[in-house]
Amino acid sequence: MKLNFANIEQEVKKLWAVKNIYRVENKSDKPKYYVLEMFPYPSGAGLHVGHPLGYIASDIYARYKRHKGFNVLHPMGYDAFGLPAEQYAIETGQHPAVTTEKNIARYREQLDKIGLSYDWSREFKTSDPKYYKWTQWIFLQIFNSWYNPETNKAEHISTLISKFETIGCSIKNQKSKIENSFSAAEWKSFSEKQQADILMQFRLAYLADAEVNWCEALGTVLANDEVVNGVSERGGHPVVKKKMRQWFLRITEYADRLLQGLETLDWSEPMKEMQRNWIGRSEGASIRFDLTPTLSKGEGAIQSPSNTEPYGYETTDAKTFEALKPIARELRKNQTETEEIIWEAVRNNQLGFKIRRQHAIEKFIVDFVCIEKKLVIEIDGEVHLKQKEEDAIRTEALNLAGFKVIRFTNEEVKNNLQVVIQKIKTALQSEATTPSPLERGQGVRSNEAGTSFNLSNGVRSVEVFTTRPDTIFGCSFMVVAPENDLVNQITTAEQKAEIEKYVAYVKSRSDLERMAEKKITGCFTGAFALHPFTQKPLPIYVSEYVLNGYGTGAIMAVPAGDSRDYAFATHFEIDKPNIFEGIDIAEKCYEEKTATLCNSDFLNGMDYKTATQKILQEIKAKNIGQRKINFRMRDAGFSRQRYWGEPFPIYYENGIAKTLPENELPLALPHVASYSPGPEGQGPLANIKEWTDKNLETNTMPGYAGSSWYFLRYMSPQEDKAFVNEEAMKYWGAVDFYNGGSEHAVGHLLYSRMWTKVLHDLGFINFDEPFKKMVNQGMIQGISMMVRNIPSISFDGGIYNPDSNKVENIISVFIDKGFLEKLPVDDILIHIPIDFAEFNGGKYYLTKEKLQELKNTHPRFGNVNFLTKEICSKLGIEAFEISEDKVELLPVVEKMSKSKYNVVNPDDMIAQYGADTFRMYEMFLGPIELSKPWDTKGIEGVSRFLRKFWNLFFTEDKLTLSDAEPTNEELKILHQTIKKIDADIQKLAYNTCVSQFMICVNELQAMKCNKRSILEPLLVLLNPFAPFITEYLWKEIGNKNSVIDAPFPTHDEKYLVENSFSYPIAINGKTRINMEFALDADAKDIETTVLADATIQKFMEGKPMKKFIFVKGRMINVVV
């Protein structure tokens, strides 16, 4: 009978459906096993052949585990919120819910064809309100928690509040993010807003300012993906960094636990390594370097009376403040009409910054001030001369105190409030800021993090983080990150212009560009700091190689011990003091930790360890720093100014973020008329009146919100009382086997680990790592066909005519490589659809016929032609031999994507070859963890294999199985195969499994084996790979149950024993001949026999034998 896979698939699918074979119960006598693969984002392009790679791999494992007697949970769902659906909505006006639904239906249809053993009754999508109700609910739990450093876990915020109510808050004892300690009594005296602001500094989900990609022209925030070369992908408009109020998850509190937790996980070492590097724990010290007196003017800092901390944000001294307080209060009650207008427009962080009114600064009470931005806003009354003079003095004094002053008249405010607010906004954005916790580097453990300074006295010192405090005597300069606020404050008048130029240059560059920059760039600020031990002045530079988000955003540069510092010092001709005994640093620096220190005062003669201990003691004693653990990881931004995501169950009341009651969840996404951004660049929700009337949060959650906990939902997808049913959670526990692309190695995995830990800390689940075993699949890449095109004769342009110096004729020209040198232009490579390429003699071509077809079917290529003699002459190039029939294409291996026209659809493969062949071929391509290009050509081999396998069961059109006793040879190949398949499935080496199946079937075919005792176990072995054909044959040969419930065969070594081995015999490592010896033969006898052999004698060329190497069962080597 001929193998008809289409019929078989039909029939087997029916059988599966009738018996509901993949339905999994939440209880069983069998041990549980949870297999999960990263669920897909349902894109409009449908699945391509790369997606199923991981699904098939997991499916094989899930089926294998089931054969091995486990109750296997193997679910699938959709990560359905995301940017592409929204972009599509913007372009076409179709609601993302509609397109997503359509895409999901298509995905499901495609997935169903592959024969995956999913329990589809557990399917869900993250964009379903029934699902995101619980995403919102979990967010509320995170919002309502803080990280208690004493218990080292998350706790409900109420435990923090009761602490404040009973003992207050001491920054010495707490890992506090706030500037000042307060007593219990003070806490109780704070307003609701003040209390809320303080609690916000502790919540695991909190609001803070962060920079976003802002595109003024589009009036919207752009994802990194949408920014190309500094301009928006859509339209090519400029993109700048802009601060916005955003939600964050305080994942940094979990840094240590995320790091330690890795040790307990069965993940590949590179994966763990990537996470370790992302978390980036480093031990070192924070050290304060005082600035030279010329800058701080020696005025000294105001100290808080209770401790040695400076008053971070105090704007005047205590005495003056007390004196001015009643006046300020009075003034607030009696605001002028104009002041009232402004106040209404700026209060409650409306402009993204806290603005205070009638506030004491130095000896003045100013109308409005943004302390954070050091900006004073004054409203001028009637203008007369005396007033003008007074205002000038006031402005100067405020300027001296470090404040910028902007003034508006009553008329301006009344007549054109918009303009006034815009001016304030501009001023707020351009002015210096005090570092927010974010800018200071969230990973910083100590409350003394950040560059410290005092408002009324200017900057006092620069604080650095270093991992090598032992090298401090090698420090010859300092570097501050360009975006660090310190820059504005310490730069001298002479250097101001140059620094501004440099900072502007850096701002125009993306982070990636900055990081990838090889060239050394930087600029001197004019300021100097004092070396804390030698008192030598150290010049302070600004350079892009110092990142503001890491450590304190400032470093002590040690050229002798750090390559970037070394390169910088060389470039700017800065002194490079050598501090390593016996090491020459004339050519390059020394980054190892093994040298002895010299030229280092009290550290001389010490090694790394001793010196580090010593210097830490010294800086502690001098009170200029301390040991510190720093993390590279930052808190996770959790807001998106988008529509298609989970709405936050948050509303605002008097500027305080408040939670919606649980019974109002889910807060459903409302329908919107358009997907354009809100008036201030907020998400589209800001355009809905009913939404803003309720003061609901207008941001939505990011893509990873839903995927951070989805693995829990599969356990009890219908549960409506909780995010997961407790019993189900206890039964299934953590995922045993998780599979997904390595491109998710950090982001998704870290966030879901964090969520799991939070849920665990709060007592909702009884495990704190989500994925016990993690497997990364490589990508299936596409082969793209690139054609060379000349840009000066481009799609949108025309032919450049040197005579008229104009571009004429709209035409595009594809050329061959050979013409390149002859043409006075550069080419660019353009993708053309892969199905238009013709393969001939090892090369790919685009023929004239195919070009015509391309032009007809793809309007984008409508104007394309091959280079002709005519065009050459128009370009003023001498005509040369041109083939006007075809051009050579350049095959390039890259990501499969619609825009690259290189997508291969699994449906086509399955229609042509069948699902089993498709599954096996995907596995046959190579190890799953490696990326490899898809090439349909090889699929024939697997297809042939399955036909051969099928034919073992049939003679002519009849199923003919024999019940005869198997021969030893037959048993041997069967048991070899069982052994290999069992071992290789566990190793996930599926490609070698397929090879072994082929070897096995080739041998059985040669033996003409049709014995049930051989073929029946083979059906079970092959089932995980080819579920359709095996299920069908299993039934055909008379079994009642599904093959999936048959136990996995076990191999018996007795069929595999060999008693002799053909040894390769090498002379000096070069294999010359093979000789057969019994495996139990005596080594001495073998040696005698080998040496007596004529061929061996010939190759030994009469030289005496030095050594005889005999490895039993492997090889023999004669050394002469």
Partner RNA sequence: GCCCGGGUGGCGGAAUUGGUAGACGCAGCAGACUCAAAAUCUGCCGUUCGCAAGGAUGUGCUGGUUCGAUUCCAGUCCCGGGCACCA
**Which residues inside 943-962 make contact with RNA, applying CB under 7 A?**
944-945, 947-948
Query: How long a stretch of residues is the chain?
Result: 1120
Integer Cα distance of 732 and 719 in angstroms: 15
1111 near RNA, judged by CB under 7 A:
yes
Instruction: Tell which positions 1004-1043 bind RNA, by CB under 7 A.
Output: 1005-1006
| Using rule CB under 7 A, residue 154 touches RNA | no
Q: Which stretch binds RNA (CB under 7 A): 381-389, 401-409, 632-640, 818-826?
A: 632-640
The yes or no reply on residue 267 touching RNA (CB under 7 A) is no
**Binding flag, residue 449, RNA (CB under 7 A):** no
Q: By CB under 7 A, tell whether 241 contacts RNA.
A: no
Instruction: Decide: is 647 part of the binding site for RNA (CB under 7 A).
Output: no
According to the binding rule CB under 7 A, does residue 168 interact with RNA? no
Contact 735, 771 (CB under 8 A): yes
Q: Is 274 in the site for RNA (CB under 7 A)?
A: yes
Residues 686-725 binding RNA (CB under 7 A) are 702-703
Q: Does 1109 bind RNA (CB under 7 A)?
A: yes
Q: Which residues are CB-neighbours of 336 under 8 A, at least 6 positions away?
A: 379, 410
Please report whether residue 1091 would count as binding RNA according to CB under 7 A: no
d(CA 300, CA 700): 47
User: Which one of 63, 67, 374, 632 is in contact with RNA (CB under 7 A)?
Assistant: 632
**Chain residues 329-368 in contact with RNA, contact rule CB under 7 A:** none
Closest approach, Cβ 252 to RNA, in A, equals: 8
Distances, alpha carbon 134 to alpha carbons 138, 710, 712, in Å: 6, 10, 11
Among 708, 706, 698, smallest CA distance to 643 is for 698
CB distance 1087 to 1073 below 8 Å: no
Is residue 591 a contact residue for RNA (CB under 7 A)? Answer: no
Binders in 385-424 for RNA, by CB under 7 A: none
For the bound state, the minimum distance from the C-beta of residue 978 to RNA, rounded and expressed in Å, comes to: 16
Candidates 383, 828, 893, 1079: give the one binding RNA (CB under 7 A).
893
Range in contact with RNA (rule: CB under 7 A) among 795-803, 829-837, 937-945, 965-973: 937-945
* 762-821 residues near RNA, rule: CB under 7 A: 779, 781
DSSP bridge pairs for 370: 375
Applying the rule CB under 7 A, the residues between 469 and 488 that interact with RNA are none
How far apart are alpha carbons 1019 and 961 in whole angstroms? 13
Contact 907, 113 (CB under 8 A): yes
| Nearest distance, CB of residue 864 and RNA, angstroms | 25
* Whole-number Å distance between alpha carbons of 767 and 758: 10
Find the shortest distance in angstroms from Cβ 1118 to RNA: 9
Please list every residue from 61 through 80 that binds RNA, using CB under 7 A.
79
Q: Is 278 in the site for RNA (CB under 7 A)?
A: yes
Structure tokens that stand for 233 in this block: 């992908």
The answer to whether residue 930 forms part of the interface with RNA (CB under 7 A) is yes
Smallest separation, CB 627 to RNA (Å): 22
The Cα–Cα gap between 52 and 118 comes to: 13
Q: Which stretch binds RNA (CB under 7 A): 101-109, 475-483, 955-963, 994-1002?
A: 994-1002
Q: Are 525 and 490 in contact (CB under 8 A)?
A: yes
CB closer to RNA, 245 vs 850: 245
Scanning residues 206 to 225, which ones bind RNA (CB under 7 A)? 212-213, 221-225
| Position 1079 contacts RNA (CB under 7 A) | no
Alpha-carbon gap, residue 533 to 473, rounded angstroms: 8
What interhelical angle do 906-913 and 915-924 show, nearest 10? 120
Contact residue for RNA among 427, 758, 942, 1090 (CB under 7 A): 942
Beta strands per DSSP E along 543-683:
554-557, 625-631, 636-637, 650-653, 656-659
Binding mask 1044-1073 for RNA (x = CB under 7 A): ------------------x-x-x-xxxxx-
Q: How many angstroms separate the Cα of 782 from the Cα of each of 51, 586, 833?
A: 12, 49, 11
> Does position 519 bind RNA by CB under 7 A?
no
Those residues with Cβ within 8 angstroms of residue 743's Cβ, 6 or more apart along the chain or in another chain: 779
Of 168 and 637, which has the nearer Cβ to RNA? Answer: 637
Stretch that binds RNA, among 58-66, 392-400, 815-823, 996-1004 (CB under 7 A): 996-1004
Does the footprint of RNA cover residue 41 (CB under 7 A)?
A: yes
Smallest distance from the beta carbon of 246 to RNA, in angstroms?
6
244 binds RNA (CB under 7 A): yes
How many Å separate Cα 4 from the centre of its chain? 45
Q: To the nearest whole angstrom, how small is the minimum distance from the Cβ of residue 419 to RNA?
A: 28
Residues 6+ apart with CB under 8 A from 680: 686
What would you measure as the largest C-alpha separation in the chain, in angstroms? 121
Q: Is 1107 in the site for RNA (CB under 7 A)?
A: yes
- Find the shortest distance in angstroms from Cβ 1078 to RNA: 15
Listing DSSP states for 409-433 in one string gives EHHHHHH-HHHHHHHHHHHHHHS--
Query: Whole-angstrom Cα distance, residue 311 to residue 371?
Result: 13
Interface with RNA, residue 91, by CB under 7 A:
no
- Cβ atoms within 10 A of the Cβ of 855, count? 15
Interatomic CA distance for residues 727 and 26, integer angstroms: 8
Q: In degrees rounded to 5, what are phi and psi of residue 208?
A: -155, 170
Q: Please work out the total of residues on this chain that contact RNA, with binding judged by CB under 7 A.
A: 98
* Residue 798 CA: distances (Å) to CA of 187, 653, 792, 809, 827: 72, 59, 7, 5, 15
3-class DSSP state for residue 830? strand
Only one of the segments 339-347, 525-533, 569-577, 639-647 lies at the binding site for RNA (rule: CB under 7 A); that segment is 639-647
Q: Which of 40, 770, 906, 1027 binds RNA (CB under 7 A)?
A: 40
Contact 366, 359 (CB under 8 A): yes
Applying CB under 7 A, which part among 107-115, 259-267, 514-522, 910-918 lies near RNA? 514-522
Beta bridge partners of 503: none
Give the one residue of 10, 1002, 1060, 1089 binding RNA; rule: CB under 7 A: 1002
Task: Output 311 or 950, the one with its CB closest to RNA.
Answer: 950
